[in-house]
Copies of this chain bind each other. A is one copy, B any other.
Amino acid sequence: MWKPDRDSNKPIYEQIADYLERRISYGEFPPGSLLPSERKLAEQLGVNRSTIIAAFAELRSLGIIESRTGSGTRVNKTKWGATPKHTPNWRRFAEGGNFLPNLPFLRRIREALIQNPTLIDFASGELSADLAPTKEIAELMNNYEYTSYLGYDNPQGSTLLRQALVEYLAKYRGIQTTESSILITSGSQQSLYLITQCLLSPGDAVAIEDPSYCYSLPMFQSAGLRLFRLPVDAEGAQAEDIRALYKKHRIKMLFLNPNYQNPTGAVLSDERRKQFLDVTSELGLPIVEDDPFSLTSYDGEAPLPLKAKDSAGAILYIGSFSKIAASGLRIGWMVAPHSIVERLADARQQMDFGLSIIPQQVAGQFIKSSYFEPHLDRLRMELRFKRDLLIEALEQELPSAAQYTIPQGGLHLWCKFNNQINDSKLLDESIKKGVVFVPGSVYGSDSGFVRFTFARPKAEDIRLGISHFSKAIRELDLNV
């Protein structure tokens, strides 16, 4: 956000007038539109209201804006510019296109965090700064010789990183593959986007876990897919549900997150894994297996992915560094039949012409470096510590109100509250008290559920955050 330069020779009110004129001329405030109030602008720009009044007077004298008592200040409709210019109707364009905006809850959370960066953040599904390997990555960047050609890369992604991932997948996930079966993506989000956009057609039916991260992705709706639910209990989803869905709706694809499922933390049981593989190979049905959390396993032993036993070649496997190293790297991968990798790589060339070579090099160096294992050990220990802090805080602040299963890996705690509390009111009240979380309905659940991401806030803020939250929930329900 622009702020006036207090060291400049130009008076602040003039800087503000110039700034507003620029925004007006760039169509952010079209002719006839209402400007923000003097009070609001003063607050945003951190100046006195009298400075805004002076800036407005300047713009009025130039014929750029006009003010009428009681109806605010507007951009001049008639006098602006030498000849009447027609600004494109940007609002119409912004509302056009196939692409649905993000869910209102998620946008509200994002805005709240921008407006007040001191909010304690149980909402963002990522690691806190101190858990990311910032120093290690800076060290690698400072010491490695970057001599490779900075041209357009292989559409599947950097060969070096794919080679490093072949070893990584064999060592940590029991997956035997070759680099021709790997597509580097900018994270699981892009993997899912490519699959929904390029392999499925509008009207296709797919099955997703309930509750599930996939519900929070308007991309499924934007692609015109019909979504069907696979209820998740303590042992994950159930394969038997697939048969009925397949019969009735001819579902085309299945989205599963078997280890430390987002948001529930559930781990798919061994027996159910086998059933899923059997049912889907019987039906010739592909599974998209999302596996972002396995390496966070607090005791170091996450179950192997379905992909490790995929003798029918039915699984599109998705992984990423976002939850185990740094989301800001924007590096993920997909393991899939080569024909699918080629198709998605080709389509991605049309979307963004592939990823920057630099973070791919850095990520490849990181997993091959001696930093990687100690980082993982520390990450697991710290996540377990933060999980325990959260549970302790909940037990003390809301002893009988919160129900949950203690997760053995991942970044989140999925919490049910006894009361049928309005999600939206609880979020608003929590933001007022200084804390954010993601309401369960974002993942398709009934109201009264909350996802707390304990990985994101600083350890020392967890107790205070839950204290804020308990005040918010008590405001809405005296019985808690």
A-to-B contact residues, CB < 8 Å: 1-2, 19, 22-28, 30, 81, 85-91, 93-94, 96-102, 107, 110, 124, 126-127, 129, 132-134, 137-138, 141-153, 155, 176-181, 185-187, 189-190, 193, 197-202, 204, 217-219, 222-223, 281-286, 310-314, 326-331, 337-340, 342-343, 346-347, 349-359, 362
Contacts of A338 in B (CB 8 A): 23, 26, 28
**With A28-B338, A357-B328, A359-B359: A85-B311 Cβ-Cβ less than 8 Å:** yes
A151–B327 touching, CB < 8 Å: yes
B27–A312 touching, CB < 8 Å: yes
**With A286-B93, A339-B90, A350-B218: A355-B152 Cβ-Cβ less than 8 Å:** no
In the complex the two chains form, what is the Cα distance from A53 to B41 in whole Å?
78
B350–A329 touching, CB < 8 Å: no
**With A197-B98, A202-B98, A358-B358: A25-B313 Cβ-Cβ less than 8 Å:** yes
How many monomers of this chain does the complex have? 2
A310–B26 touching, CB < 8 Å: yes
B102–A350 touching, CB < 8 Å: yes
B146–A137 touching, CB < 8 Å: yes
In the complex the two chains form, what is the Cα distance from A139 to B304 in whole Å?
41
Q: Choose from B96, B133, B179, B352 the contact partner of A186 (Cβ within 8 Å).
A: B352
In the complex the two chains form, what is the Cα distance from A217 to B152 in whole Å?
17
Return A134 CB to nearest CB of chain B, in Å. 6
| Residue among A91, A199, A337 with most chain B CB within 10 A | A337
A87–B176 touching, CB < 8 Å: no
A219–B284 touching, CB < 8 Å: no
In the complex the two chains form, what is the Cα distance from A107 to B345 in whole Å?
12
B330–A355 touching, CB < 8 Å: yes
